[in-house]
Amino acid sequence: MVVLEEAVLMRRHSDLDVWAEQLQHLIDAVQAGRIRVRILPLASFVHGEIAHLSELVLPDGTRLYAIEESDATYRSGLHTESRLGTFLDRVIDAALPEAESYAYLQHAVNEALTAAPLRLP
């Protein structure tokens, strides 16, 4: 699952056709079942010190967290899993459901094609 902050969708590419193509690529990946997307609204108030966090679940069940800042840091272990797993759970709980997130992406493509300012549908 991919969770995108709403702000990411508001920072458009300067060429709106390119931006629409990028968003359509994301929609196509969702439709094909290759990824699941949830949008985290700006008003969600989920706070954390981590902006770019990935959770990787290994075949043995071990959870590995990749934190991307100026470089990549990988962490695992019970304390890390508890702290970062709880943070990710809060983010997912606050994100729009998948169907609403998909509708938001479609709306964003339409807005990019018309050059209208992006607002929640």
Could you tell me if residue 121 is inside a domain?
no
Could you tell me if residue 18 is inside a domain?
yes
Q: Say yes or no: 69 and 105 in one domain.
A: no
pLDDT computed for residue 29 by the predictor: 95
Cβ within 8 Å of residue 66, ≥6 positions away: 53, 54, 56, 72, 73, 74
pLDDT computed for residue 28 by the predictor: 95
Could you tell me if residue 119 is inside a domain?
no
2's enclosing H/E stretch is: strand 2-5
pLDDT computed for residue 87 by the predictor: 78
Could you tell me if residue 88 is inside a domain?
yes
Q: Say yes or no: 29 and 63 in one domain.
A: no
Q: Give 10-residue mean pLDDT values along the chain (121 residues).
A: 83 78 92 92 71 78 76 64 77 91 90 67 56
pLDDT computed for residue 8 by the predictor: 82
Quote the domain boundaries for residue 20: 1-41+96-113
Q: Say yes or no: 56 and 33 in one domain.
A: no
pLDDT computed for residue 99 by the predictor: 95
Number of domains in the chain: 2
Q: Are 23 and 10 spatial neighbours (Cβ–Cβ below 8 Å)?
A: no
Q: Is 101 exposed, middle or buried (0-12, 13-18, 19+ CB in 10 A)?
A: buried
Q: Is 0.85 topped by the overall pTM?
A: no
